[in-house]
Amino acid sequence: MYEKRWAYKSVPDQQVVKTLAGQLNIDNTLANMMVQRGICNFEQAKDFFRPQLSHLHDPFLMADMDKAVARLEAAIEMNEKILVYGDYDVDGTTAVALVYGFLSTFYPNIEYYNPDRYLEGYGVSLQGIEFAAQQGASLIICLDCGIKAQDKVKIAKEQFKIDFIVCDHHEPDENLPEAVAVLDPKRKDCAYPYKELTGNGVGFKLLQAYCVRKNIPLTNLYQFIDLSVVSIASDIVPITGENRVLAYYGLKKLNENPQIGLKALKSVAGFNSNMSIENVVFVLGPRINAAGRIKHARDAVRLLLSDNFDEALAFAEEIQKHNTERRGHDTRMTEEALAMIEQDAWLSSTAKSTVLYREDWHKGVIGIVASRCIEKYYRPTIIFTKTKEAMAAGSARSVAGFDLYSALEECSHLLEQFGGHKHAAGMTLSIQNIQPFQQEFDKVVARYITEEQQTPVINVDLKIRLADITSKFHRIINQMAPFGPENMQPVFVTENLTLKYTPRIMKEKHLKLELLEEDTGAVFTAVGFGMVEEHYRRLTQQKYFRIAYQIEENTFNNKTTLQLMLKDIKY
Mean pLDDT of the chain: 96
DSSP 419: E
Looking only at the bridges linking them, the beta strands covering 545-556 and 559-570 are antiparallel
Amino acid at 496: N
Q: Where in the chain is the domain with CATH 3.10.310.30?
A: 344-454
DSSP 336-383: HHHHHHHT-HHHHHT-SSEEEE-TTS-GGGHHHHHHHHHHHS-S-EEE
Burial 52-77 (b: 16+ CB within 10 A, else e): eeeebbebeebbbbeebbebbeebbe
The pLDDT assigned to 90 comes to 97
What are 55-65's pLDDT values in tens digits? 999 999 999 99
List, by residue range, all CATH 2.40.50.460 domains of the chain: 5-50+457-570
* Rounded distance between C-alpha atoms, residue 538 and residue 365, angstroms: 37
- pLDDT for the residue 1: 59
CATH number of 55-321: 3.90.1640.30
CB 482 within 8 A of CB 239: yes
Residues 134-157, mean pLDDT to the nearest whole number: 97
DSSP character for 79? T
What is the crossing angle of helices 199-214 and 65-77, to 10°? Answer: 60
Per-residue pLDDT reduced to its tens digit, 368-412:
999 999 999 999 999 999 998 899 999 999 999 999 999 999 999
CATH 3.90.1640.30 residue ranges for the chain: 55-321
Q: What is the mean pLDDT of residues 299-309?
A: 98
pLDDT for 499 equals: 97
CA pair distance 59, 418, nearest whole angstrom: 30
pLDDT of residue 326: 94
The pLDDT, as a whole number, for residue 60 is 99
Where residue 420 falls (left for φ over 0; alpha for ψ -120 to 50; beta otherwise) is left
Q: Are 114 and 314 in contact (CB under 8 A)?
A: no
Q: pLDDT (tens digit, 9 = 90+) per residue, 495-553?
A: 999 999 999 999 999 999 999 999 999 999 999 999 999 999 999 999 999 999 999 99
Please say whether the structural domain 5-50+457-570 has been given the CATH code 3.30.1360.70.
no
pTM tops 0.85: yes
The predicted structure's pLDDT at residue 118: 85
**What is the dotted CATH code of the domain comprising 344-454?**
3.10.310.30
Q: What is the pLDDT of residue 388?
A: 81
- pLDDT cut 70: percent of the chain above it: 100
Q: Dump pLDDT digits (tens) for 239-253.
A: 999 999 999 999 999
How many residues are there in the chain?
571
Residue 188, helix vs strand vs coil: coil
The residues, any chain, with a CB within 8 Å of residue 436's CB and separated by 6 or more, are: 414
Cα-Cα-Cα-Cα dihedral sign, residues 229, 234, 235, 236: positive
